[in-house]
Amino acid sequence: MNDETMPPAAPDNLTVGGTLVCAAERFGERRALIYSGRQASWDDLLALAVERGRALIGLGVGKDDHVGVLMPNCFEYVVLYLATQMIGARAVLLNARYRSDDLRYVIPKARVRFLFVGGQATSFCDYRPMLEEAFPGILEDRVSNDGRIEHADLPDLERVIEIGEERPGHWMDEAALNDLAAQASDLDVMRRAGQVLPDDIGLMIFSSGTTSRPKACMLAHRSLCLTGASMGKRFALTENDLVWDPLPLFHMSTILPLAGCRATGACFMGMDHFDADTAMDMLIRERPTVHYAGFPTIIGALVGHPRFAEYDQSRLRINHVVGAPDLLRRFAQDFPGAVPVNSYGLTEATGVPCYSELDDDREYLFTTSGRLFDGMEARIEGPDGETLPTGQPGEICLRGNAVFAGYYDDDAATKEAVDEDGWLHTGDLGQIVEGGRLVYEGRLKDMLKIGGENVAAVELESFLMTHPGVRMAQVVGVPDDRLMEVACAYIECMPGAELSAEDIVGHCDGAIASYKIPRYVRFVDEWPMSATKVQKFKLLRQFEPHSKIEPRRQKAAR
């Protein structure tokens, strides 16, 4: 028998395709995915991924080819991601919020060969003019008669394929892509899936970009599968769970929970675009068992919604959100029947290698990120490279099966991040406390030097959010003639709350050291965001040194 007639080998269970096949075998007709008003069972999801995989093979996508995805959250996004994994390609998930300058950098940097663009976003984000601005001529002039891209700035790019786009154009549309599925069979897809190895790179995500140009993190199938299974175990997920996750699909905050659902049969319920009205309708209707909202801005929008009281939380058992301890305590009161699960993570560690345990003491849930997964270890490193004892803060270093495979095409940055002994130097400040629990205390570089004293921005942010009128606080250090640097607090108020800078300073006076009190307060309605993080460098750029507050004078005036 030759390769064409031999039955395909079963996909390895430590590959993304293998976990999908296994989930379909185990959970069949149970719900797997809710997105964009559509639902799919595990059987359906496997069939759709195989069908899209046939089209990708017909398109000419080969093993390890880089398939860029520049799309908003949608049902088709999940199917496309799974299809790339089935046939051994690398999915390059591009931030849907990127603009022309970002795209001009990341698409050539990642050597994307096939770029999928989502037309579903045109009402709020049209990628056509954005890509044309980044690469003049790409809309028409640099497209050959057979639809191939010929652009000097994009030597690796062959095709742009539009999904969900109804406008006519010169790029390949979805109908033409679907026609290509006839050139391959289901067996061809399964044969390719059986050839994918656990240590093959399945995913590339550009990390952070909050302070500099982002770097493309390479994640292997093995780390994606092991971390997903560990997440499912830590959350005690089963096929009876419904996980609501409104976060972006170009980020590990969705890719990891999707992996956790494949490992356990839980159903994943996402959102095309988060808005509080749609979210409340969804939660009231579906009554999920797990919230994976992750970030205080989203949970805060739910709690402040006028229909929040209508939400029947009787099925909700986990509310996953990260933030300052006092904020988490506040949210725990809003979701009294759910365990408030905390976490610590970064893309370079396959998203999240550390969650709270469901039976952790209540105070640990608020003040620590829990224990690392099996197969992972942490050490806290001091300024001279020494390992610090329990309870002493320093740089968080991680080692184990969740550590990424390196930055694509950037050996120097990879060597800087991961040392010869395999330790990932995260650049995060933290400590290990009782029971091996990890405590995250902010970015090492996110420290203020006020009058010679080190002050962690996260410490001030946590305190500021104890004010009942403050929904979110972010602190940056700004220059000062006397103290060299002082705190500027950016504040988002609770709905209906009216606060002044004097109110914020008054809240601090007598409660924290005087040098820590913000000298500047700025109120904001929205935040400059990367995928999930506030971009503090943009807050610094817009800072202007006016309306300085002198706490002593204000106190005397009172």
**Mind listing the pLDDT tens digit for each residue in 239-294?**
999 999 999 999 999 999 999 999 999 999 999 989 999 999 999 999 999 999 98
**Mind listing the pLDDT tens digit for each residue in 353-377?**
999 999 999 999 999 999 999 999 9
pLDDT of residue 538: 85
pLDDT of residue 482: 73
Nearest to 512, CA basis, from 462, 471, 553: 462
Nearest to 11, CA basis, from 187, 159, 206: 187
Distance CA 345, CA 424 (A): 12
**Mind listing the pLDDT tens digit for each residue in 472-521?**
899 998 888 777 789 999 999 998 899 999 999 999 987 887 888 999 99
Residue whose tokens read 């175990």:
233
Average pLDDT of 110-123? Answer: 90
Contact criterion met (CB below 8 Å) for 7 and 190: no
The proportion of the chain whose per-residue pLDDT surpasses 90, expressed as a percent, equals: 70
Residue whose tokens read 């300085």:
548
- Whether 379 has a pLDDT exceeding 70, the answer reads yes
pLDDT of residue 211: 44
Alpha helices (H) along 439-533: 457-464, 501-508
**Mind listing the pLDDT tens digit for each residue in 45-103?**
999 999 999 999 999 999 999 999 999 999 999 999 999 999 999 999 998 888 888 89
- Residue 176: pLDDT band (50, 70, 90) is very high
Distance CA 227, CA 33 (A): 20
Structure tokens at 275: 């808005």
Average pLDDT of 227-238? Answer: 98
Q: What amino acid occupies position 483?
A: L
Contact criterion met (CB below 8 Å) for 66 and 99: no
Average pLDDT of 431-445? Answer: 87
Distance CA 198, CA 14 (A): 5
Average pLDDT of 188-204? Answer: 98
DSSP string, 406-450: -BTT-HHHHHHHB-TT--EEEEEEEEEEGGGEEEEEEETT-EEEE
**Mind listing the pLDDT tens digit for each residue in 138-152?**
988 777 777 788 999
| Domains of the chain as residue ranges with CATH | 43-207 (3.40.50.12780), 447-557 (3.30.300.30)
216 beta partners: 206
Distance CA 289, CA 270 (A): 14
**Cα 49 to Cα 264, 280, 382, distances in angstroms:** 19, 30, 47
Distance CA 428, CA 412 (A): 20
Q: Which residues contact 359 (CB under 8 A, 6 or more apart)?
A: none
| Rounded to 5°, angle at Cα 472 from 471 and 476 | 155
pLDDT of residue 252: 94
**Mind listing the pLDDT tens digit for each residue in 20-33?**
999 999 999 999 99
Distance CA 268, CA 232 (A): 12
- Whether 1 has a pLDDT exceeding 60, the answer reads no
